[in-house]
Chains A and B, each alone.
Chain A
């Protein structure tokens, strides 16, 4: 079998100008016509063999002269008006009427010229039935196929119906549905074949099998055929290497492709494009192994129409499947997120939900790194190694990064054999990082034929066509777009959660610090203020000892009295401090409190003392009701009244007034006395623990500090309004609304 030599100097078959081969397939005749006068400019050199007319006798002749008179008008009509090659196959009678032969004629545009191609010689004149014939064909093919497709929910199933119907319609030995992946490589997703043939179903073909220039051509011309792989193409007369045969049927195909088919044992072929969104989505590829094979024009065109009809549907099914899969995984993910967000401790949460998370992401292991705690689960890099790996990643501190082949992407990392092959990294600033790992997936990709390295010289078609199992080493199952979309959702939800957790942690820390400071202060003041009376007690005992030894009894009873006083001071102090430390600790219920009742009760307990000192106590009659902790508020009033009695009753006619007023935001209560008053520089100090203004021995210095603390628990404020010699008004507020605080 004669083989056309491969064009020299062609490094890649991608560079070939396949739309301008300059030669045509010999099973038909091609005429290139002048568009204005329909005169033949070029004709293929096989005109002699096919039509018994030599090429030079045809050049310069008007094409209508060649056909029978009854066809002339329709021919001219088509050539002038209907150059869309998918709707105009004519049945032409070439030669004289009644004596001629009958061919199918297809007209198309070729740059500035018009093409008329004749093939499919058939007996008799079916012209009258031509349109009916094609409609029958068309209906026969499309209705059954479309019905089958409507019921299919997977590309494989739909493709199967399609291939079976097309095979039956056309008669090829094998019809395949060939679909392109994102990277250009193709997969046979469905197939109908003669039983004797070995299956091609599931085979993958490298992208280079259908180079870019071919794909572009396939989008413009939806069909191409090779009637006889072994036939030698013929030149045009006169030659025209520039003739654009993009839309021609008889275009001779690339010698690379012929080689390729011959290597496969294919004797005739046809393929129809499935175009979606202006791009080549897939092909209906037909192969014949039992010799040359010609398909009549009308049948070919039915297939093209079918392809146009189903391309959209197939692509839609594919998208739907992807969307369904995405929704399913997203659903599982959402449930995971809800569970996670209810748990406060993220590392703990991940630990418990690890399996579910791995499931959603089709991952084999995960590692979670955070400031506080690290965690690892499944087949993953341990935290130490993970941290080391992170240093190799580009310094983005936020967002998602990934690798499908860690060893290839980070060769200097010193990988260990049992470590994962791929990773998906979710970084939350410097606070936390989640790494999802995938193990090495030795994927058996069924490559059709050995992929040859381009380094070995010009790209040549594969010589052998055995099935080749390609082990893909060091790679994991690729992180798909679905995976990344899910990761993105997960990341957003987690980011919020992480931030919230951090904010909460910071809040807790601040609170802790505040409480710690308070404790420190408390401890300091306590130890100091308890020490002083102890010094006194010991001191006076020392005096007692000395005097007794010296036989001096004059000071004895004074000393003993002082000891008692000091000891009792210690006792009071300790009690007050205990009371103070209990503020806010005991669990009381927030209640409705009638201040009228409370004050009445208090006044009752102080009756004797008030009488003794001649103090008049005036209580506002219509005190409001407040919400708060009963005991706490009681303490406030008790302390304030107590203070007023002790320190604010120096007037000759001492009066203590208790009043309350309700404002928009709070209830404000006041205890006013008409005593000596307090200088402004001490107004702040007196509320501090142990800050006394005088040492009259009555108070322990805890009272007002208690008031302040009790008021604080109710989220209120307190203070004093006073000037020397004008009495003092101690006030505090109890807000109506408690800010969000779980302590109250």
Chain B
């Protein structure tokens, strides 16, 4: 647990509105995260993380929750770009996807994702997962020092 109660910020990169609503609701319920930002696809995600317009005022998140299957730019491409961009390359990125395909999991780890989570179809499990995720990454995990 971090000794100073600094704000915990998550960035949710999710194109599906329903999934976004459900995830955000669950994160809020966990009561750990101070701020949840959501972008609707990978292009917006990079704009946000790189602090480009219209996200110039953004604060870097403690955790990026990244979906894989999105229009315009897939989550794995975003992951690669994050790892290749100075200033944000060490950000904690957790993949949160409906896909349980081995090749997606393999690629994600190859691209240095911190963790891979598969969205459960059962809603109780889904909420439990999001709750524990928030605890773990928001409370227990030490975020990387800023670069």
Binding site for B on A (CB under 8 A): 524, 528, 531-536, 538-543, 562, 565-566, 682, 690-695
Task: List the A side residues contacting B72 at CB < 8 Å.
Answer: 682, 693-694
**8 interchain pairs (CB within 8 A)?**
A533-B18, A538-B123, A538-B126, A542-B123, A542-B127, A692-B71, A695-B17, A695-B71
Q: Are B119 and A535 in contact (CB under 8 A)?
A: yes
Secondary structure of the A contact surface, majority rule = helix
Complex Cα distance, B99 from A54, in Å, reads 128
Which of A532, A536, A693 sits near B71, CB closer than 8 Å?
Answer: A693
Q: Which residue of A lies closest to B68 (CB)?
A: A528
Q: Known contacts A528-B99, A531-B98, A694-B71; is A539 also within 8 Å of B124 by CB? A: no
Q: Known contacts A524-B101, A542-B124, A682-B72; is A536 also within 8 Å of B18 by CB? A: yes
Q: Known contacts A543-B25, A695-B40; is A566 also within 8 Å of B123 by CB? A: no
Mark B95-112 against chain A: 1 for CB-CB distance below 8 A, else 0. Answer: 000110100000000000
Q: Are B127 and A531 in contact (CB under 8 A)?
A: no
Q: Are B19 and A539 in contact (CB under 8 A)?
A: yes
Task: List the A side residues contacting B15 at CB < 8 Å.
Answer: 695
Q: Are A535 and B98 in contact (CB under 8 A)?
A: yes
Complex Cα distance, B98 from A528, in Å, reads 6
Q: Are A536 and B126 in contact (CB under 8 A)?
A: no
Q: Are A536 and B16 in contact (CB under 8 A)?
A: yes
Q: Are A535 and B25 in contact (CB under 8 A)?
A: no
Task: List the A side residues contacting B36 at CB < 8 Å.
Answer: none
Q: Kindly state the interface size class of chain B when it binds its partner.
A: 20 to 34
5 closest pairs, A vs B, by CB? Answer: A542-B123, A536-B18, A539-B22, A538-B123, A531-B98
Q: Are B71 and A535 in contact (CB under 8 A)?
A: no
Is B131 part of the binding interface, using a Cβ–Cβ cutoff of 8 Å? no
Q: Which residue of B lies closest to A694 (CB)?
A: B71
Complex Cα distance, B72 from A691, in Å, reads 9
Q: Are B119 and A528 in contact (CB under 8 A)?
A: no
Task: List the B side residues contacting A565 at CB < 8 Å.
Answer: 18
Is B122 part of the binding interface, using a Cβ–Cβ cutoff of 8 Å? yes
Q: Which residue of B lies closest to A533 (CB)?
A: B18
Complex Cα distance, B72 from A524, in Å, reads 20
A557 → chain B closest CB, angstroms: 14
Is B89 part of the binding interface, using a Cβ–Cβ cutoff of 8 Å? no
Task: List the A side residues contacting B124 at CB < 8 Å.
Answer: 542
Task: List the B side residues contacting A691 at CB < 8 Å.
Answer: 71
Is B121 part of the binding interface, using a Cβ–Cβ cutoff of 8 Å? yes
B127 → chain A closest CB, angstroms: 6
Complex Cα distance, B27 from A490, in Å, reads 79
| Most chain A beta carbons < 10 A, residue from B17, B22, B124, B126 | B22
Complex Cα distance, B16 from A695, in Å, reads 7
Q: Are A538 and B121 in contact (CB under 8 A)?
A: yes
Complex Cα distance, B28 from A679, in Å, reads 37
Is B135 part of the binding interface, using a Cβ–Cβ cutoff of 8 Å? no
Since A535-B98, A539-B126 are in contact, a sample of 18 more A-B pairs with Cβ atoms closer than 8 Å, ordered by chain A residue number, is A532-B16, A532-B19, A532-B69, A534-B121, A535-B22, A535-B121, A536-B22, A538-B123, A539-B18, A542-B123, A543-B25, A565-B18, A566-B18, A693-B72, A694-B72, A695-B15, A695-B17, A695-B71
Task: List the B side residues contacting A533 at CB < 8 Å.
Answer: 18
